[in-house]
Chain A
Amino acid sequence: MSSSSALTEVPPPPVARTGGARRVVRQLLRDPVATGAAVVILVFLAAAVFADQITALTGQDPYTYHQELLNAKGVPIGFGGGISAEHWFGVEPLTGRDLFAIVVHGARTSLFVGLSATIVATIIGTVVGLVTGFFGGWVDRLGSRVVDVMFGFPVLVFLIALMAIIPTSLPRPPFMVLVIGVFGWPGISRLVRGQVMSLRERPFVVASTAMGARGGHVMFRQILPNALATIVVVTTIVIPSMIATEAALSFLGVGVPPPTPSWGRTLGDAIAWIRTSPMYLVFPGAALFLITLAFNLFGDGLRDALDPRTVKR
């Protein structure tokens, strides 16, 4: 949830040319931590995309109740919350739904909301950062004030409140993408702005302006491509906080509505069963932790690979 502090930790990558995507990929592959993180991310992405096929392996889905697997108190029967050949992660207390299917389909919810919200935030942040950094003056002062205010804002409180006024006829997840994204751009815009301001003074940009290029051309053809490295790094670092925000809202019971699987909601439900069925907490918790950690580590690695100044620490 520490989105603001995570962002302020990132030093803006230098303006120097990064030497092409191929060099970056080669450098990332040489970094075992980043490579491992990338593999984890790919596994989760695959789980999200092929959720139906994967759960078909065990012949389960996240919606069917299996009351026969629970005892009279609703606690799953058997080892580790009812782990078996059919139910790899056991079953959910009270309903007996397959926990493996819930976790796999939960990846779909989590990554859909997290990645889409990141895209929304990145687009807004890039445009605002580009415009304020490029034009400067009162545009910049106004933009910076807005960013300053939004930065320290109790975003989660606002998001929770906003969830109350969504008309029930609208589907929740796209709306969540929108609001999480709309509140997530200030950090991105601040970093992009800094990058744009230093690029604006560089000889090739000045030359381009001197040769009569219009503002739009300079902004999108000269400056934007050179700021891409920064934008990519920031995006990677923002993703985990977006995923965590979706899970937080679902955890608090104001996010993705049941029965759509969501790690956050399962974690929220699991508190009540912590004594009798701790494994109910462990699997979705581990999934959420792993994906967040993987994106954080990959973001670190990417930043190092894109930043020639970074000395191996």
Chain B
Amino acid sequence: MPERYRPEVIEHLVHPQGVGEVNQPDGCGEAGDAACGDVARFTLRVEDSRLSEVCYKVYGCAACVAAGSALVGLVRGRHLLEAARVSRADVEEVLGGPLPEGKEHALTLVIDALHRAFEDYLDHRADVLLGGGYTDGSAGEEGTVVAAMSGGVDSAVTALLLKEAGYRVATVTFRLHDGEPGSRSCCSPDTVLFARETAHRMGLPHFTLNLKRLFERRVLSDFVGSYAAGRTPNPCVACNAHVKFHAAAFLADMLGFRHIATGHYARVAETPYGPALARPKDERKDQTYVLWPVPEKLLRRTVFPLGDYEKSEVRAIAADRELAVAHTPESQDICFIPDGDYRRFVRERVTSGPGEVVDRSGRVLGRHEGIVNFTVGQRRGLGVSTSTPLYVTEVRPECRQVVVGRKRDLLVWEILVGETNWFMDPSEADSVQVRYNGSQLPCRIKREGESWLVRLEEPTMAVAPGQSAVFYAGERVVGGGVILRRGRG
């Protein structure tokens, strides 16, 4: 037998509050799909960060109608930060207790529609964000922080640790691309929904920022363009500095919050030159290599709570506090290419004509279908058979040539690095890292015009243009840059 609705639900169905649409709203959000049987739409006006007007419309079952009405009652007149904290459980309480089995989706539907209206509201104010403006946070209230929340265990524990340390925390999830599985909230799991649920369970307000345009401009186009130019890009590096930190700072500025935080394994150290990135306690999870382009102005207001923890401790905290994310698997691949086939991803976006496979002396050994299929150090798929194994040593986009050689031809003594970002004086650099999870190579560096020539003490293998070179002084990150080309072999 289907469980019946409580009288509170019927009361909200028959006398719903806030039905309609706000005239010329500041934010408008819709969730669901009429073909799935439910659609909810929220419109709102924001004055002095308060929801001065909230209206909703619902096409759906009685639970959806009632949940929308209950939600209006919970958020109308409230501050944005309070409204963004209202959870499924809060709505359920107004409706007199749990909804009948199979009707719980109504809570998700209406909260998602409201949050999409918040997202729309923030999007209208994102001109600043896309223009590049943000502050160093010094005007923000002390003890406040915007924590980025991906839905994984690291970011969840980050928010939790901050809350337990006494911060006022607002969480934010970034909508970066359409590759996320399932954007229809009623039919499939969605990372944004999961992150919101996690935040709400901790009693924290949650916001979503639509960064698809920013991501497209600053990460995707560069990712595709780099391959076409024969480089091997690292999209996570570009995304952290130029999308995520930037967006978190935008939201913090908007809310009058001082700090921003992420779940990266890194630390911020005070140096005579100002704040600098530093390696975390858990060396195996060290993410300083992908954080080097974060501008000093942002790093100054950044908190990395996980810098002082081992990953195993983070999981233990999540389990201890009964976070649903405690046992989520580690994410590995590039997030916008779920199947991991980044070559196909690039091929679908650029035309790359066939060319020659040559050796170092220029002798033609074979043909290839396009340079996007090749990366320095690559051994497979060269289409050339020889007695000794051959490796890609160089990609020449201008003449579509792929240069191959023996393993020792990959050895590199010098690297030219550009597009640098320094936290400390470059002369402090005593070593360089040229690969994620790579080792720290002792080096000396010398300025060459706009770029820096890095001289290694020992040669290293397979340095790919487009990857990051990050300079260290002991545990501290002196600065970093993009590898332009290898120097003398």
Q: Do A and B come from one complex?
A: no
